[in-house]
Structure 1
Amino acid sequence: MKKIISIFIFAIFSLSIFSAENKVIISVPDKWSSGLGFMKDLLKESYNDIGYEVIFSDLPLARSMTELINGRLDGELARSKDVAQKYNLVIVNPPYFTLKGYAYYLKGKFKKAPTIEEIKRGRISYIRGSFATEKFFIDAKSPILVNNEKQLLSLLNKDRVDFVSPVTSNFATGQNNLGKVLLFEISVHHILSIKNIELAKKLGPALKKNMTKKKYDHLHEQITKLVLEQSE
Structure 2
Amino acid sequence: MESLIPLLSKAYKQIGHDVVFLPHPSNRSLSHLEDGILDAEIARLSVVEKKIGNIVRINIPIHTLKGFAYTNRGEIEEYTPEILGHYRLTSLRGVLWSDRVVTNHPRSNQMTQPADLLRLLQEGRTDIIFLAEETMDRLLENHPATSVKIRKLYPAIAIQPMYHYIHKKHRDLVPELEKAISDLLKNRK
Return the TM-score normalized by structure 2.
Answer: 0.56
Letter in 2 for 1:84: E
Residue aligning to 2:144:
none
Q: Distance in 1 between matches of 2:11 and 2:164?
A: 11
Going from structure 1 to structure 2, the CA distance change for 1:36 and 1:104 (only over 3 Å counts) comes to closer
- Identity between Structure 1 and Structure 2 (%): 15
Going from structure 1 to structure 2, the CA distance change for 1:208 and 1:150 (only over 3 Å counts) comes to farther
C-alpha contact 2:68 2:153 (8 A) present in aligned 1: no
Q: Distance in 1 between matches of 2:183 and 2:35?
A: 31
Residue aligning to 1:210:
184
Specify which structure has the bigger relative contact order, considering alpha-carbon pairs within 8 angstroms and separated by 6 or more residues.
Answer: 2
Residue aligning to 2:35:
66
Deviation per CA, 1:114-163, whole angstroms, max 9, x where unpaired?
Answer: 642x1442313446x464265231322223677364864785xxxx84x4
Return the TM-score normalized by structure 1.
Answer: 0.48
Tell me how far 1:91 sits from its aligned partner.
Answer: 1.2
Task: Select which of 48, 53, 71 maps to 2:17.
Answer: 53
Q: What RMSD over aligned residues (CA atoms) do the two structures have, in Å?
A: 4.6
Q: Distance in 2 between matches of 1:187 and 1:195?
A: 24
Task: Select which of 124, 130, 139 maps to 2:104.
Answer: 139
Residue aligning to 1:184:
158
State whether structure 2 residue 57 is matched by structure 1 residue 83. Answer: no
Tell me how far 1:165 sits from its aligned partner.
Answer: 3.0
Q: Distance in 2 between matches of 1:165 and 1:100?
A: 11
SS of the residue 2:40 aligns to: strand
| Structure 2 gaps, min length 5 | 141-146
Going from structure 1 to structure 2, the CA distance change for 1:196 and 1:167 (only over 3 Å counts) comes to closer
| Structure exhibiting the larger radius of gyration computed from Cα positions | 1
Letter in 2 for 1:47: Y
Residue aligning to 1:103:
69
Identify the structure with the greater helix proportion: 1
Aligned pair count reads 164
| Structure 1 gaps, min length 5 | 1-34, 218-232
